Amino acid sequence: MSADDLSLPDDMDQLKSMVRAMAAQASRADALEREIETLKARNADADERIKRLMQILKAYDRARFGRRSEKLGSAAADDEGAQQAFLFEEIETGMLADHVLGEILKGDRVSADETSLPTLAPGTGSTKKAWLWAYARDDSTFGGSGPPMVAYRFEDSRSGDCVRRHLAGYRGILQVDGYAAYNKLARKGGGNDGPLLAGCWAHSRRRFYELHTAGDSRIATTTVERMAELWKLEAEVRGESPEARAVARQAVSAPIVTELFTLWEQTLPRISGKSKLAEALRYAMTRRDIFDRFLTDGRIELDSNIVERAIRPQTITRKNSLFAGSDGGGRTWATIATLLQTCKMNSVDPVAWLTQTLERIANQWPSVEIHDLMPWNYKA
């Protein structure tokens, strides 16, 4: 309506009423426009959430079932790996996977191991060697009531800097194989700064067992037979309190350990230093401090099989899928593996748990209650 078409009343009161009515109408129009903009923003946010959740589910299906082939140097594969890493960033960073690792580091004992993960190197058309680091906790072996869990971290390196970042501030027991990277974290001089290292007898046993099965060494056969007595006792005391385990080990295992180290010390000077037997002897003898610790601390296991069982499914998956498509894909691999393997360790159906958890996240589950989303707290 133009100014010429607008008919104004002569009466001042009527004119004021008309102005007030027009102002109220304009105010309602502004409020309606603001409400429309708010609804559009909410709708766009909802669409984005739905889109992200659908992409997460597709990535999850890929992780479960894989695909028939991947081509080296494929830009699409690399883009997809980066996309999956972005999609799982919200879950990995500060949420589910990180929370699992945080709970692991609250334990008295953590078992650690690592395995290689071939990963596409951008622009080269070939793979590079990257690594999955695994950290597992299972308190049930020494009578604890906490749930079992495992967390994986993807790194393009096997250096000690990686494990130092992962375990920053941890001062409990770290049960590992003989890899030197873990030694850099160990507490020194009886202090409390850093974890207390405990060794894995299974890694030593394998070296002797290979010689035993080949029939190459009577010393190796004797070692394997005496070590069997250690594992026999462990089966008997599994699940008992740390104090009860330590008492039993002092009575049965300590004399066997002393006998073995005496045998090894007497044998090493009499054989070729380049022989396989000498290598096996040196491996064990140079680690006596961390091998002896299970005798006096019932929280420590004889081996690190807890984390090795968690590593094994990843080596099988690696063999089937050949490689990760990118560093982002490797990080996604670690995130998915953390969640699914922790489900399996707690006898929880991964599909049912993930479905429920994604629905809760989509419905604005409060971050302060993230612990209730953990697989060990799952209720159908």
d(CA 215, CA 205): 15
- Of 287, 353, 273, nearest to 96 by C-alpha is 353
Asked if the structure places residue 260 within a domain, the reply is yes
Task: Specify the DSSP class assigned to residue 324.
Answer: B
Model pLDDT, residue 140: 95
Q: Indicate the average pLDDT of the chain.
A: 84
Q: At 223, is the pLDDT very low, low, confident or very high (cuts 50, 70, 90)?
A: very high
Model pLDDT, residue 221: 97
More confident residue, 83 or 320: 320
Q: At 343, is the pLDDT very low, low, confident or very high (cuts 50, 70, 90)?
A: very high
Asked if the structure places residue 351 within a domain, the reply is no
**Res 93 pLDDT > 70:** no
Instruction: Please name every residue paired with 196 in a beta bridge, in sequence order, or none if there are none.
Output: 173
Model pLDDT, residue 293: 96
Asked if the structure places residue 281 within a domain, the reply is yes
Asked if the structure places residue 70 within a domain, the reply is no
- At 211, give phi and psi (nearest 5°): -70, -35
The angle formed by the CA atoms of residues 120, 122 and 124, to the nearest 5 degrees, is 85
Asked if the structure places residue 227 within a domain, the reply is yes
- Of 195, 149, 144, nearest to 298 by C-alpha is 144
Task: Specify the DSSP class assigned to residue 1.
Answer: -
Q: What is the average pLDDT across 339-363?
A: 91
Q: What is the pLDDT of residues 107-146, one digit of tens each?
A: 999 999 998 888 877 777 788 888 899 999 999 999 998 9
**What strands lie across the sheet with 149-155, from one edge to the other?**
149-155, 126-137, 109-121, 173-175, 196-198
pTM: 0.74
Asked if the structure places residue 267 within a domain, the reply is yes
Percent of all residues in the chain with a pLDDT value above 70, rounded to a whole number: 84
Model pLDDT, residue 53: 72
Q: What is the pLDDT of residues 278-335, one digit of tens each?
A: 999 999 999 999 999 999 999 999 999 999 888 887 777 666 666 676 777 788 888 8
In terms of average pLDDT, the best of 71-80, 161-170, 237-246, 306-315 is 237-246
d(CA 237, CA 206): 23
How many domains are contained in the chain? 1
Task: Specify the DSSP class assigned to residue 269.
Answer: G
Asked if the structure places residue 293 within a domain, the reply is yes
From 19-23, 214-218, 291-295, 297-301, the region with the lowest mean pLDDT: 19-23
Which residue range forms the structural domain that includes residue 208?
201-303
Instruction: Please name every residue paired with 151 in a beta bridge, in sequence order, or none if there are none.
Output: 135
Q: What is the average pLDDT across 6-21?
A: 74
- CB atoms under 10 Å from CB of 88, counted, come to 26
Model pLDDT, residue 292: 97
**Res 51 pLDDT > 80:** no
Q: At 76, is the pLDDT very low, low, confident or very high (cuts 50, 70, 90)?
A: very low
Asked if the structure places residue 346 within a domain, the reply is no
